[in-house]
């Protein structure tokens, strides 16, 4: 049975540090894609059922996707599939009806539609207008700066990307993007290696993608900014609410000099589900993912699994055999699930091997298909 994703708070030790709604940070940014919101003032002058209001508010695909990101949690299987089949405007219309939904039984359709019953159209329209006032950008599939690499996620592609910063370099070739991830409780060794790799990638004119967290990812962002390079922070919360709060200044610099992106709307707080969903974006945006330090059950290992699922290269940095934070990379290396990375050249080698493996798999698949066809013809 279909179950909609739950917005469950992250680990209790971090829950007390989560930003509290509903305040918004002001200020404009460069590289912003403006958007139009069509609203009827009369909607706010009377009480009506939520979906009737929402269907009148939505005038185009962009606004519909923005509204969806405010209602449905990221990486929702049903919503993603329906978006690919009928588009966002039709998805919202399906949600307000009581008849059958494509590919869903009666019970599953009722569960899916329940997400929309808890929403308020007036609140959504106000949030959209506020985001526009703050200069927050929006990208949807088909936009010039939309990262086509995310299309490899298929039905799991984000409904929309909310942005702060320069989106133009998202159109660069996939091979120029590298994700660096790892433990929040990193060692000094791990942070040093992450910084060295990020600086060298900057010198090689690569874009470094990370999640803005403490430890490995923060070290990567800082090294890129110090080297004058391009970096992307992929957030599990609204781009107007830098998290963790201890990295607020760092993330504001990323938004000013690089790019901050999120699939959840402004004002959103991070949750466990949103952290897990974000992993697929960090993996898909880059040609290679490098794990510097991570425990076996670390969230960084989720990024690795997502990268492998869509055929991206994976690298791992070896560390002391006595270090718990190196157990994740060591496991990947032992199981031949990652290439060993000690410098930027190793990342290039991993990319070449990944392309060769993908090419061989495609050729093998074509060979099997041709063989089957030949067998049928005989």
Domain stops at, among 109, 134, 159: 134
Assigned domain for 158 exists: no
- Cα–Cα distance for residue pair 249/242, rounded to 1 Å: 9
* Number of domains the chain contains: 2
Assigned domain for 109 exists: yes
CATH of residue 296's domain is 3.40.50.450
Q: What is the pLDDT of residue 24?
A: 31
What's the count of helices (H) and strands (E) in the chain, helices before strands?
14, 9
Mark whether 272 and 324 lie in a shared domain: yes
Assigned domain for 150 exists: no
- Cα–Cα distance for residue pair 196/242, rounded to 1 Å: 25
Mark whether 221 and 304 lie in a shared domain: yes
Q: What is the pLDDT of residue 96?
A: 84
Q: Under a CB-based contact definition with an 8 Å cutoff, are residues 264 and 74 in contact?
A: yes
Mark whether 338 and 189 lie in a shared domain: yes
Q: What is the pLDDT of residue 122?
A: 74
Other beta carbons less than 10 A from residue 106's beta carbon: 10
pLDDT in tens, 322-333: 999 999 999 999
Which residue bears the tokens 């969903």?
277
Mark whether 127 and 220 lie in a shared domain: no
- Cα–Cα distance for residue pair 12/42, rounded to 1 Å: 43
Lateral strand order in the sheet of 177-181: 137-139, 161-165, 259-262, 231-235, 207-210, 177-181, 288-291, 313-316, 339-340
Assigned domain for 365 exists: no
Assigned domain for 262 exists: yes
Can you list the residues of the chain whose pLDDT is less than 50?
A: 8-52, 366-368, 370-371, 373-378
- Cα–Cα distance for residue pair 193/215, rounded to 1 Å: 11
Mark whether 222 and 352 lie in a shared domain: yes
Mark whether 201 and 282 lie in a shared domain: yes
Range of the domain at 233: 172-358
Which residue bears the tokens 């010198």?
203
- Strands 161-165 and 259-262 come out as antiparallel
Q: What DSSP character marks residue 338? A: S
- Return phi, psi of residue 262, to 5°: -155, 150
Mark whether 106 and 203 lie in a shared domain: no
Give ∠ CA 108-61-252 in degrees, rounded to 5: 100
Using alpha carbons, select from 140, 162, 163 the residue that is nearest to residue 151.
140
Using alpha carbons, select from 155, 128, 112, 105 the residue that is nearest to residue 24.
128
Mark whether 239 and 344 lie in a shared domain: yes
- Strands 288-291 and 313-316 come out as parallel
Domain stops at, among 134, 158, 186: 134
Mark whether 78 and 177 lie in a shared domain: no
- Return phi, psi of residue 177, to 5°: -110, 135
Using alpha carbons, select from 277, 223, 218, 270 the residue that is nearest to residue 248.
218
Mark whether 186 and 99 lie in a shared domain: no
Assigned domain for 307 exists: yes
Mark whether 235 and 346 lie in a shared domain: yes
Using alpha carbons, select from 256, 220, 217 the residue that is nearest to residue 236.
217
For the entire predicted model, the pTM comes to: 0.82
Q: What is the pLDDT of residue 362?
A: 58
Assigned domain for 115 exists: yes
Give ∠ CA 204-230-28 in degrees, rounded to 5: 170
Mark whether 109 and 224 lie in a shared domain: no
Helix (H) or strand (E) holding 292: none
Assigned domain for 377 exists: no
Domain stops at, among 134, 164, 181: 134
- Partner residues linked to 138 by β-bridges: 162
DSSP labels for 121-174? HHHHHHHHHHHHHHT-EEE-TTSTT--GGGGGGGGGS-S-EEEEE--GGGGS-G
């Amino acid at each position: 049975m279909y179950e909609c994703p739950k917005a469950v708070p992250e680990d209790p030790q971090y829950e007390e540090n989560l930003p509290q709604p509903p305040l918004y940070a002001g200020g404009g940014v460069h590289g912003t894609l403006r958007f139009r919101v069509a609203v009827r003032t009369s909607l706010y002058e009377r009480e009506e059922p939520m979906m009737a209001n929402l269907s009148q508010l939505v005038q185009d695909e962009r606004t519909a996707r923005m509204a969806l990101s405010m209602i449905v949690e990221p990486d929702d299987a049903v919503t993603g599939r329906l978006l690919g089949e009928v588009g966002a405007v039709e998805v919202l219309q399906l949600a307000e009806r009581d008849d059958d939904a494509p590919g869903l039984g009666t019970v599953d359709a009722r569960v899916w539609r329940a997400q929309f019953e808890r929403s308020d159209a007036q609140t959504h329209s106000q949030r959209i207008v506020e985001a526009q006032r703050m200069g927050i950008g929006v990208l949807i599939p088909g936009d010039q700066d939309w990262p086509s690499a995310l299309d490899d996620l298929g039905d799991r592609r984000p409904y929309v990307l909310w942005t702060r910063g320069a989106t133009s370099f998202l159109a660069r070739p996939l091979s120029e993007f590298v994700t660096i991830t790892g433990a929040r409780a990193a060692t000094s060794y791990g942070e040093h290696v992450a910084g060295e790799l990020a600086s060298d990638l900057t010198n090689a004119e690569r874009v470094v993608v990370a999640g803005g967290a403490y430890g490995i990812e923060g070290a990567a962002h800082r090294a890129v900014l110090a080297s004058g390079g391009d970096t992307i922070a992929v957030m599990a919360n609204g781009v107007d609410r830098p998290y963790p709060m201890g990295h607020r200044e760092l993330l504001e610099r990323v938004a000013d000099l690089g790019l901050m992106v999120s699939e959840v709307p402004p004002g959103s707080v991070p949750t466990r589900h949103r952290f897990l969903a974000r992993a697929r974006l960090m993996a898909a945006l880059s040609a290679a993912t490098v794990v510097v330090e991570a425990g076996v059950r670390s969230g960084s290992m989720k990024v690795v699994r997502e990268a492998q699922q869509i055929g991206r290269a994976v690298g791992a940095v070896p560390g002391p055999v006595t270090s718990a934070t190196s157990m994740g990379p060591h496991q990947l290396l032992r199981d031949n699930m990652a290439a060993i990375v000690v410098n930027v050249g190793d990342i290039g080698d991993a990319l070449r091997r990944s392309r060769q493996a993908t090419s061989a798999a495609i050729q093998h698949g074509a060979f099997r298909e041709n063989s089957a066809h030949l067998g049928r013809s005989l």
